[in-house]
Amino acid sequence: MDNEYKSGFVAIIGRPNVGKSTLLNYIIGQKVAIISSKAQTTRNKIAGIYTTEEAQVVFLDTPGIHKPYNSLDEYMEKASFGALNEADAVWFVVDATEKRGGGDNFIIERLKKIKNTPIYLLVNKIDLIKKKNDLFQAISSYTVDSLDWSEVYPISAKSGEQVNALVDDVIEKLHPGPQYFSKEQITDHPERFLVAELIREKILQLTEQEVPHSIAVVIDSMKKDGVNEKLHIQASIVVERSSQKNIIIGKQGNMIKRIGQLARKDIENLLGERVYLETWVKVEARWRERPQALQELGYNSKQDL
Ligand SMILES: Nc1nc2c(ncn2[C@@H]2O[C@H](COP(=O)(O)OP(=O)(O)OP(=O)(O)O)[C@@H](O)[C@H]2O)c(=O)[nH]1
């Protein structure tokens, strides 16, 4: 009988928008990675921590992979492949409703270089597939002329179908190891980071087109003046052009108000306390192309890779 405590790292990788963050959130049961229907939502490697009496699994959620375009994209790509080197297992997630494409092949080629680590194929969004044959075709497009997957799981990160079996399976394959984090901890990122991500999530959800990729959110301060006081959070929303600033502020400040209201609700749920949220919108021309600006805005390669 094997009573030893097990632990390990599982990297979740895949093209943008395939449902990696949704899967992580389903498993952890709390909002640790932000979700939106716009691609490239996840920028930093986020560890979700799943702890049971028998095992602890640290999940590394990686930014979606695509061809590097600017400094920020390069940073995102490095973060994704960096996570693979720390992993005891890799979950490659694909979208059952999308055809296998160049982006998938690019990742598959990189995955081929990994030795001695179980690599799973997760065919996600099966709740959207109506015909059995369509699912069969989706799966076989990733199994033929591809990697020799350790396991193949058709799943739905949204409804949770097959997700528990998948988690049990990966735990089964982990080696004995220590419990790295306390059982209450669900992520290793500081609260500030999660708070900033929740604000960014609301902007992504409420604005359209060019604005989303040109924003960063920085938490300037988080403090409490007294025991019974609300937690006072000051946040800056950084954009690249003044036209974007106008969009985020909205007519008579309506947009920024709405962003603040929705973000505050989620932040209060996350932290379990009342929050007073103050936001400013700042213009920083071309911040995505300047490594210095990326560092200042918290995309610190030394710290995060
Ligand atoms: N129907 C359905 N939708 C899903 C499922 N999983 C994810 N989605 C949706 O797909 C979209 C993208 O999900 P995310 O979890 O943000 O995808 P991601 O892979 O983390 O995206 P990036 O952060 O851009 O890399 C969201 O609108 C999700 O609600 C699923 O199993 N079924």
pLDDT in tens, 126-164: 999 999 899 999 999 999 888 899 999 999 999 999 999
Distance (Å, rounded) from C-alpha 239 to C-alpha 182?
Answer: 37
Ligand 1 pocket mutation pick from 13, 17, 25 by most atoms within 8 angstroms of CB: 17
Boundaries of every domain in the chain: 6-173, 191-304
Range 176-189 average pLDDT:
73
* Predicted ipTM beyond 0.85: yes
Task: Catalogue the E-assigned strands of 78-187.
Answer: 89-95, 119-124, 151-154
- Lowest-confidence segment of 73-82, 159-168, 175-184 by average pLDDT: 73-82
**124 marked as binding residue:** yes
Centre of ligand 1 to C-alpha 148, Å, is 25
Q: List the beta bridge partners of residue 232.
A: 223, 276
Please check whether residue 199 is in contact with residue 32, taking contact to mean a CB–CB distance below 8 angstroms.
no
Q: Which atom of ligand 1 is nearest to the CA of 41?
A: 23
User: How far is ligand 1, taken at its centre, from the CA of residue 22, in Å?
Assistant: 6
Most confident of the following: 60-69, 74-83, 165-174, 239-248: 165-174
- For the segment 210-221, the average pLDDT, to the nearest whole number, is 76
Where b means 16+ CB within 10 Å and e means fewer, 194-203 reads: bbbbbbbbbb
CATH topology of domain 6-173: Rossmann fold (3.40.50)
Fold classified for 191-304: GMP Synthetase; Chain A, domain 3 (3.30.300)
**The predicted structure's pLDDT at residue 126:** 97
Closest CA to 150 of 84, 81, 92, 85: 92
Q: Has 129 been labeled as part of a binding site?
A: no
Is 218 annotated for ligand binding?
no
Residues in contact with ligand 1 (CB, 6 Å cut-off): 14, 16-22, 35-37, 39-42, 63-64, 124-125, 127-128, 156-158
**Listed range (119-123, 168-172, 176-180, 244-248) with the worst mean pLDDT:** 176-180
At residue 281, the pLDDT reads: 93
